[in-house]
Amino acid sequence: MSRPRKPASPFRYFNSSPEVIRLVVMMYVRFPLSLRNVEDLLFERGIDICHETVRHWWNRFGPLFAADIRRQRISRMRGFRQWRWHLDEMYVKLNGEMVYLWRAVDHEGEVLESFVSKTRDKKAALTFMRKALRRHGRPEAITTDGLRSYKAAMVELGNLDKQEIGPWANNRVENSHLPFRRRERAMLRFRQMKSLQKFASVHANVHNHFSSERHLIDRQTYKTRRSAALAEWQSLKA
């Protein structure tokens, strides 16, 4: 009986080491740095790469790392149904035109799903919610703002009894927009819906991975969690 073949390494055609590639992707996606900022910071560490290499690496490896993080989180949370979701949409400027970035956040502030659309009608809300429910299961309650598209989508999905609307009830997802807004300013906005959807998904998963809520825990616990998150990141696609 033949042995199962080991999946080919995604780094096999690159001269740089996997450690350097992981570092580059983490710096660019996690922190509000431009491509040239990352290039200059790495040069100070003795790593000489072009800013276009940074662009190529995050485009190539960012979705792979994000998929690994998402897969591990979903497997850990499988069977957990005491979730409270918060849904909201935010404006993003794309070549002078406003588009909508829909985001689902759980009660701990972790981004579950991101979806980009040109409208915020019932069809867009339905597509977004179906995508989130298919991947993460059904929550105990779903908090939204007063947008009527949510109610129309909830009726079609049979989740109207789970919808909650109230003043300040959706602050959890409103606050979760801030890290993405900081990142958007550093990138001088986006130019294509495809690149916006791709980066929003990658950024959400990387942010989830390194978010330790340091303001809620003591210093020693934070350091332990930070070290664990970094060690897990360094083992991605190993």
Residue 2 is predicted with a pLDDT of 60
Per-residue pLDDT, averaged over 179-208, amounts to 90
pTM for the complete prediction? 0.88
Averaged pLDDT score across all residues of the chain: 89
Q: Helix or strand or coil: residue 33? A: coil
* DSSP letters spanning 176-218: HHHHHHHHHHHTT-BS-HHHHHHHHHHHHHHHHHH---GGGS-
In terms of average pLDDT, the best of 7-16, 111-120, 166-175 is 111-120
Residue 78 is predicted with a pLDDT of 63
- Within the chain, residue ranges assigned H as helices are 18-30, 35-44, 51-77, 122-136, 148-157, 171-186, 193-210, 219-234
The residue ranges of every structural domain in the chain are 18-77+220-234, 84-191
Assigned CATH for 84-191 = 3.30.420.10
Residue 100 is predicted with a pLDDT of 96
Residue 8 is predicted with a pLDDT of 80
- Give, in order, the Cα–Cα distances in Å from 100 to each of 46, 57, 69, 93: 41, 27, 25, 9
Per-residue pLDDT, averaged over 142-151, amounts to 93
Tokens describing residue 72: 């591990």
Q: Helix or strand or coil: residue 17? A: coil
Name the strand (E) or helix (H) holding 162: none
Per-residue pLDDT, averaged over 156-168, amounts to 89
Give the C-alpha separation, 14 to 122, whole Å.
45
Confidence of residue 60 (pLDDT cuts 50, 70, 90): very high
Residue 154 is predicted with a pLDDT of 94
Q: Check whether 164 has a pLDDT greater than 60.
A: yes
Residue 217 is predicted with a pLDDT of 84
Q: Check whether 139 has a pLDDT greater than 70.
A: yes
pLDDT tens string 78-136: 666 667 899 999 999 888 889 999 999 988 888 999 999 999 999 999 999 999 999 88
Tokens describing residue 223: 């350091």
Confidence of residue 202 (pLDDT cuts 50, 70, 90): very high
Tokens describing residue 141: 């309650």
Residue 26 is predicted with a pLDDT of 96
